[in-house]
Structure 1
Amino acid sequence: MGSIENLVLARKSLNVSLEKGKSLGLALDKAGPRLEEIIHRLPSLGAAVRPIRANKDALLAVVGHIDRAVGPAAAVLKVFDAVHGLEKSLLSDPRGDLAGYLAVLKRLEEALQFLGDNCGLAIQWLEDIVEYLEDNVLVDERYLSELRMFLKGLREIRDNGEKGCLDGGLLEASLDKLEDEFRRFLNDHSVPLPMSSSNNQASLAPSPLPVSVIHKLQAILGRLIANNRLEKCISIYVEIRSSNVRASLKALNLDYLEISIAEFNDVQSIEGYISKWGKHLEFAIKHLFEAEYKLCNDVFEGLGLDVWMGCFSNIASQAGILAFLQFGKTVTESRKDPIKLLKLLDIFASLNKLRLDFNRLFGGAACADIQNFTRDLIRRVIDGASEIFWELLVQVELQRQTPPPPDGSVPRLVSFITDYCNRLLGDDYKPILTQVLVIQRSWKNEKFQEKLLINAILEIIKAIEQNLEAWSKMYEDNILSNLFLMNNHWHLYKHLKGTKLGTLLGDSWLKEHEQYKEYYTAIYLRETWGKLPSLLSREGLIMFSGGRATARDLVKKRLKKFNETYDEMHRKQSTWVISDKELREKTWQLIVQAIVPVYRSYMQNYGPLVEQDSSSSKYAKYTAQSLEKMITSLFLPRPTRFGSFKGSFKQRQQSGKFNSMQPDQHQASPTSK
């Protein structure tokens, strides 16, 4: 029994050995490739364990270098992780919580500053480690080469200031969002100034931007400026605020500001625009640019005068201040015309009224272009107005050689100049003209006295009187010459009496012209209508001394002569004009008084002698009523061809002088109304 048990145990033992042999065979099969791999890696493993075989002192020294580099590197990694933790907040919309967004952004800026500073420190320590490893030959050359390439990249980032590499562009994206928020705030609160549809004046409006909005804009600016984005902020601000001013001005319909010198020949064609220009310019300065000036100061306060004044200057230029000034310049470049003098004075008055505002708003160095344009415009206005004024006398004298009106009426030059000089002496223009002439003389280091202005006006009126005398002598018909002088002396008396010019000329001067009118009226009546009554002589008809037939022949003969003379006189004078209504009606009355009573009496007494004759209509041609009606149809002005009397005083295109002031023969003087 004992031997069987031993055999069983031996068998089991043998089976176990066989299983182990199989397992060992399988393990050997698997170990073959691993042994080959170990053999392949032996060189690199040898390099890796080289420090273990290095000098002990060298190994101890490198530990210190590594410890000093690990501290900054660990801090950098920690902050870098914190930066990425801010990403969600900074990529959200800042309008929900602007203050919170700005606080987070500031944390990002501080983190990036820390990263920037400590990355440099880490690079220095890493460079020190590499240098030590190179000197002590502690690592493989391939490993050192990789370290050198890595450090080179870090140095380039450091030297080029590429902070975006530290945060993956998070800061730039956040700043872009802030710029968008800056633009949105401005857009949402930049509303054109409301206009009243009735008078184009600004209604009561609040401050351009609420204080709370200004504070938010300043908070945004603080972060953007800290990141060198001031210029972009200013660009956005100027774009939106200048657009807002333009929208406010659009309601004024300022298309006329774009008018070019080629689009009009004289000031009259844009006279109405010049009046609007002054009102619109005042509105723009006092309501729009004034508000933008204050707002620029409020929003950009603390950044320096140059910053906010430069911002305001750009807004003013882009919003249209230069267009206003250009329009004034265009007027100065138009052809010379006496009416242009008045319009230049209007322009000067508008600019002078706003002088303090211009100096305050546009006085800084940033507004140099606006200042230069304004100074140039003022000089052009003053020089142009002075030149036209001092040339008036010469231009009036030049008209002396032109023919007078063929209808004997008041020449348009006379009515124009008398009205024109009155306007120059009036309260609206005299102070402005005086100031312009004073400034113009001061530029020449000459003094101006008011008597120079007064004397110039008196010389112009004296030249008008001399023109009238010269014109009266150009008529071939002396009777028409007398009518012409009657017309014009009455015009000078009536239309200057009680005026500034009339007061300047004096009562004796006015009385003299009234007497001249009476004198020439008397001559005119005596030489014309006054001769008709003598043709209706009663001589030989008193007692019918020669018989009824003889009396009838005498009446026929005298009536025929009367009719022929009357018809010829009426025909000739039917084209003549008495400009003034009062003088015309007075002249009718004198003619009627001179003729009609005599004719009526004659026909009552002797008309029956011819009325029964078969040819009576040849002799009893008129009744007293028909004569009076015909007389009161004389001297009426012709319908006006032009709407204004100003057009006769235009400049010659080629010579630069005024056109002939020869009157339009188909136009009534304004005094006929």
Structure 2
Amino acid sequence: MRNIFSSHHSNTSSSSPSVSSHTSPINQYTFSQSLMEENIEIAEALINKWNPQGSAYTTVSYLFTDDRKEAKEFLKSIKDLQKAMHFLVTEQSTTSEKLINAQNLMQKAMKRLEKEFYQILSTNRAQLDPESISGRSSHASDLSRTSTSDFEDEIQSEDEIQSASDSISEVEQASTVAMSDLRSIAECMISAGYGKECVRIYNIIRKSIVDEGLYKLGVERLTSNQILKLDWEVLDFKIKNWVGAVKIAVKTLFQGERILVDYVFANSDSIRESCFTEITKEGANYLFSFPEFVAKGKKTPEKMFRILDLYDAISELWPEIESIFSFESTSSIRTQAVSSLIRLGDAVRSMLTDFEAAIQKDSSKAPVPGGGIHPLTRYVMNYICFLSDYTAILSDITADWPLPEQTSLPDSYFEGSDIDDFSTSNIALRFAWLVLVLLCKLDGKTELLKDVSLSYLFLANNLQYVITKVRSSNLKFLLGEDWISKHEIKVKQYCSNYERMAWSKVLSSLPEDSTAMLSREEAKQYFQIFNAAFETAYRTQSTWVVSDGKLRDDIKVSICKKLVPAYQQFYDKYRVTVRDERNFQSLVRFNPDDLGNYLSDLFYGNGISGSSSRGSHSR
């Protein structure tokens, strides 16, 4: 008799028709009793007609599908039957047989509504799938504001549905009707005290949809130990799949379920919460625990970017997660998402620390051939450039993570730039520090090079590579133009030092005083010294490398400007003097144009090419 004492309905006196003040108590009782008995008779006829255990027709047909007008009357009859039962229970003179009959009718009616509720949920899976519902959330919100206090007003006529659905698609129209019917049935059953049966059906069907949705998204239910044992290639694939899946799961699957449950059980906060929790809690908790399991694994450099992808996905979705799982009973889901964020953040900070330590501990002893780009430079700069694509995420992760005191950057590092810009940007300071650690390490690598001039070329090459990578990535905005300009000046200084060290002997092989007159023997001696010095410099540097095309050209032009005019002057002045020498061709091996040809072959790392054939003896 659970429905009789439902607190959702008004007292019998308020629901009974008004009676004239002149009507006697006996007449009033007779009139009310007659009206209630008539209500029971009307309800009995309609309920028995649609009794699930009745005729074969009612067994295979459905009220809300076949006759919406009669469905409206069916719900009204249940409401009238409920009023009659309240009246009967308050009248002590009423026979128990009438009350028992009314209760039996209510049970039959609830059986029919159970069947109708199940049929609507199961046959409208496509129309009520989370994607369709989440895509029309604004319309669902409008529906949820519709008053459903009167069951007889809940089942809309076809004209009303068509009028309300002119601006939406056919699928949306079908889902609108299904959602409206579900809400009508749910409120009727809950009001009659049969909410438990309604909730059971709803939870079974909708939970299967959530579980199926997660399965189709590739969300596997692996334990922490299983994830830790996966090869990186397999785990990498699963992480990429998860990043795509979580966005769909939150914005479509869970969002759609929240919209649907909020609408169907709009009049009961406790039922809305219990249903949504039952449907989503298990799947959502596993979904958001996956990143935490990954973060517990071995922290290697290649995992950094996947960890950041996981962090980015959760942090980006956090407003939706907080809104969708706002119930107290789903707080564990929010807690799990936050826990994963914390774990991922810890993993990133740990990997950044390990990355810096790896740069400082690099112990490679093999000198780079030709003073080219060191493998450490390529690796570190490529890694940092990729990291700079995650600036916003890293800023969040490192916001409350101060740099250790021993890694404070020296003021000279920011000479000519605004250090305050770095001090207000923790992440910019960290990137600047990582680059400085690399440059300091490269400076130590010059000890492996025996030629001092090659050491300067090595530093120029590597610093130019660093600048190029900075300019072509987000590091440009983090480190700023002042940083770039300052380091470009350093490159020029390295190049100048290289030229001075590598070509000083060649330049000094020419007379210091260009106005002084030399004897034939002195001129011959200067030609011989110059030949030897130039050939030695060329032979030595023919295997050296300058990777950056512009830097390579700038260096060669700078050498030409210093060397060719000085040699041109000496050549023009004393070539005639030694022309009659028997070994003239070997004595004057180069004309000024030859020097430019030889220099143009430098810094490709190819060794001595056929350039020597360009000497004057072959012309």
TMscore range, shorter length: 0.5 to 0.7
Aligned to 2:494: 517
CA RMSD of superposed structures (Å) = 5.9
State how far apart, in whole Å, the 1-side matches of 2:310 and 2:327 are: 24
State how far apart, in whole Å, the 1-side matches of 2:45 and 2:262 are: 41
Q: TM-score, normalised by structure 2?
A: 0.57
Instruction: Name whichever of 230-239 and 170-179 sits farther off.
Output: 170-179
The letter for the 1-side match of 2:259 is K
Aligned to 1:526: 503
Deviation at 1:483, TM superposition (A): 1.7
In 2, are the aligned partners of 1:533 and 1:595 still within 8 Å (CA)?
no
State how far apart, in whole Å, the 1-side matches of 2:430 and 2:342 are: 22
Aligned to 1:584: 552
Kindly indicate whether residue 401 of structure 2 is the aligned counterpart of residue 435 of structure 1: no
The letter for the 1-side match of 2:120 is F
Cα 1:598–1:211, aligned 2, differ >3 Å: closer, same or farther?
same
Give the count of matched residue pairs.
479
Residue of 86, 97, 101 corresponding to 2:67: 97
State how far apart, in whole Å, the 1-side matches of 2:589 and 2:235 are: 51
State how far apart, in whole Å, the 2-side matches of 1:181 and 1:506 are: 69
Cα 1:569–1:202, aligned 2, differ >3 Å: closer, same or farther?
farther
Residue of 370, 373, 379 corresponding to 1:407: 370
Deviation at 1:432, TM superposition (A): 4.0
Alignment of 1:26-425 (within 5 A): 87-88=54-55, 90-91=58-59, 92-94=61-63, 95-97=65-67, 100=70, 174=112, 177-187=115-125, 189-190=127-128, 193=131, 207=140, 210-221=175-186, 228-239=196-207, 241-242=209-210, 265=232, 273=240, 277=243, 281-282=246-247, 284-305=249-270, 307-313=271-277, 315-316=279-280, 321=284, 325=288, 328-329=291-292, 332-333=295-296, 335-337=298-300, 341=304, 344-345=307-308, 347-399=310-362, 402-414=365-377, 417=380
In 1, are the aligned partners of 2:552 and 2:603 still within 8 Å (CA)?
yes
State how far apart, in whole Å, the 2-side matches of 1:570 and 1:460 are: 37
Cα 1:440–1:286, aligned 2, differ >3 Å: closer, same or farther?
farther
Deviation at 1:480, TM superposition (A): 1.8
Deviation at 1:450, TM superposition (A): 5.5
State how far apart, in whole Å, the 1-side matches of 2:235 and 2:580 are: 61
State how far apart, in whole Å, the 1-side matches of 2:237 and 2:533 are: 52
In 2, are the aligned partners of 1:408 and 1:484 still within 8 Å (CA)?
yes
Deviation at 1:363, TM superposition (A): 3.1
Deviation at 1:470, TM superposition (A): 1.8
Q: What SS does structure 1 have at the residue aligned with 2:267?
A: coil
Aligned to 2:461: 487
The letter for the 2-side match of 1:183 is L
Q: Deviations over 1:590-637 (max 9, x none)?
A: 333455566777888759989999x99978877766654453343248
Cα 1:609–1:255, aligned 2, differ >3 Å: closer, same or farther?
farther
In 2, are the aligned partners of 1:400 and 1:471 still within 8 Å (CA)?
no
Q: What SS does structure 2 have at the residue aligned with 1:229?
A: helix
Kindly indicate whether residue 543 of structure 2 is the aligned counterpart of residue 575 of structure 1: yes
The letter for the 1-side match of 2:181 is K
State how far apart, in whole Å, the 2-side matches of 1:538 and 1:203 are: 92
Cα 1:528–1:416, aligned 2, differ >3 Å: closer, same or farther?
farther
Q: Deviations over 1:550-572 (max 9, x none)?
A: x9xx69x957x866765554454
Cα 1:572–1:518, aligned 2, differ >3 Å: closer, same or farther?
closer
State how far apart, in whole Å, the 1-side matches of 2:211 and 2:580 are: 90
In 2, are the aligned partners of 1:409 and 1:487 still within 8 Å (CA)?
yes
Q: What SS does structure 2 have at the residue aligned with 1:187?
A: coil
Deviation at 1:203, TM superposition (A): 10
Q: Percent identity?
A: 17
Instruction: Name whichever of 323-332 and 295-304 sits farther off.
Output: 323-332
Q: Deviations over 1:227-274 (max 9, x none)?
A: 552344223441564378569x86xxx789999666664899679949
Q: Which has the larger radius of gyration?
A: 1
Cα 1:179–1:287, aligned 2, differ >3 Å: closer, same or farther?
closer
Which runs of 5 or more structure 2 residues have no equivalent in the other structure?
A: 1-42, 89-95, 141-171, 403-422, 607-619
Cα 1:402–1:105, aligned 2, differ >3 Å: closer, same or farther?
same
State how far apart, in whole Å, the 1-side matches of 2:257 and 2:344 are: 28
In 2, are the aligned partners of 1:492 and 1:513 still within 8 Å (CA)?
no
State how far apart, in whole Å, the 2-side matches of 1:459 and 1:266 are: 31
The letter for the 2-side match of 1:309 is E
Deviation at 1:377, TM superposition (A): 0.9
Q: TM-score, normalised by structure 1?
A: 0.54
Aligned to 2:23: none
Aligned to 1:475: 449
State how far apart, in whole Å, the 2-side matches of 1:402 and 1:344 are: 32
Which runs of 5 or more structure 1 residues have no equivalent in the other structure?
A: 1-78, 118-124, 126-160, 195-200, 442-448, 639-673
Q: What SS does structure 2 have at the residue aligned with 1:285?
A: helix
In 1, are the aligned partners of 2:467 and 2:484 still within 8 Å (CA)?
no
Deviation at 1:423, TM superposition (A): 8.0
The letter for the 2-side match of 1:524 is M
